[in-house]
Homo-oligomer: A and B are copies of this chain.
Amino acid sequence: MVRLTARFLMAVRNQDTANFMRDGKKIVGVALNYMDVVKARNVPVPKEPLVFLKPTSSYLREGHPIILPKVFSKVAYEVELGVVIGTRCKNVSKQDAMKHVSGYCLALDLTAQCNLTAARAAGQPWTLGKGFDTSTPVSKFIPFDDVEDPHTLPLWLKVNGEVKQKGCTADLIFKVPDIISYVSKFMTLEPNDLILTGTPNGSDAFKAGDEIECGMGELATLKFQVCGE
């Protein structure tokens, strides 16, 4: 009886956030969160998650093209595990963090490196380089129960059929509960919020005319055409 109720509540919770792309209010990204990237770039391991925001106006559904803004000269792909928040939380412990996850998605965190490099050098916000329209392509909602362990998921990305990224969420520096707990010290996480957990090594520039394809284990694949603005 207790099991049935828990299952029922989980189903309701999943249903509520299945439209995270339509109903969500924030996208929280984490930068430099894969050990293979830290090693490849020979930079120090971050002591705390490097947190940034993307607006929900940057969401893109499969079937629509990625549009490269004409103001940018270099935009890079980043394939990532997305985590969908199911219930409101603030100051949540790592132990309790996963109770607030309703599901996942496969996502791209497209990044205007031209803009970001200049912004970082000048101590300016990352907003424009991370927040442009179509910069957050996402798969459909993957219910919590469909993922046995979010830290054993293979991630891959191809450009025009050639493998460019190949990693595994096992390599995450800050795990899903670490990120949720940390972010919730500062800001309330709300149902339908999305967390982008970071990208494995291999992120690089792409251009108009390219076809980007990516996948996460057996759970999701995505394919997008790239257009100029």
Contact residue among B25, B51, B119, B131 (Cβ-Cβ distance under 8 Å from A25): B25
Contact present for A125 and B128 (CB under 8 Å): no
How far is the CB of A183 from the nearest CB of chain B, in Å?
Answer: 8
In the bound complex, do residue A131 and residue B187 qualify as a contact, i.e. CB atoms below 8 Å apart?
yes
| Interchain CB contact (< 8 A) of A186 among B119, B124, B132 | B132
Cβ of A63 under 8 Å from chain B: no
Taking a contact as CB atoms under 8 Å apart, the answer to whether B123 and A25 are in contact is: no
Instruction: Say whether A123 contacts B125, CB under 8 Å.
Output: no
Could you tell me the distance in whole angstroms from the C-beta of A58 to the nearest C-beta in chain B?
7
CB of A201 within 8 Å of the partner chain: no
Per-residue CB proximity of A202-213 to B under 8 Å, as 1/0? Answer: 000000000000
Given contacts A50-B125, A124-B50, A125-B51, contact A58 B187 (CB under 8 A): yes
Closest to A69 in B: B186
Q: How many residues of A are in contact with the other chain, CB < 8 A?
A: 34
A56 within 8 Å of B by Cβ?
yes
Asked if A55 is an interface residue, CB under 8 A from chain B, the answer is yes
Given A125-B53, A125-B125, A125-B126, does the pair A69, B25 have CB atoms closer than 8 Å? Answer: no
Q: A25-B57, A187-B57, A190-B57 are in contact. Are A52 and B125 (CB under 8 A)?
A: yes
Binary contact readout A66-95 vs B (1 if CB under 8 angstroms, 0 otherwise)? 000101000000000000000000100000
4 additional contacts (CB under 8 A) given A53-B55, A57-B187: A51-B127, A121-B123, A128-B186, A133-B188
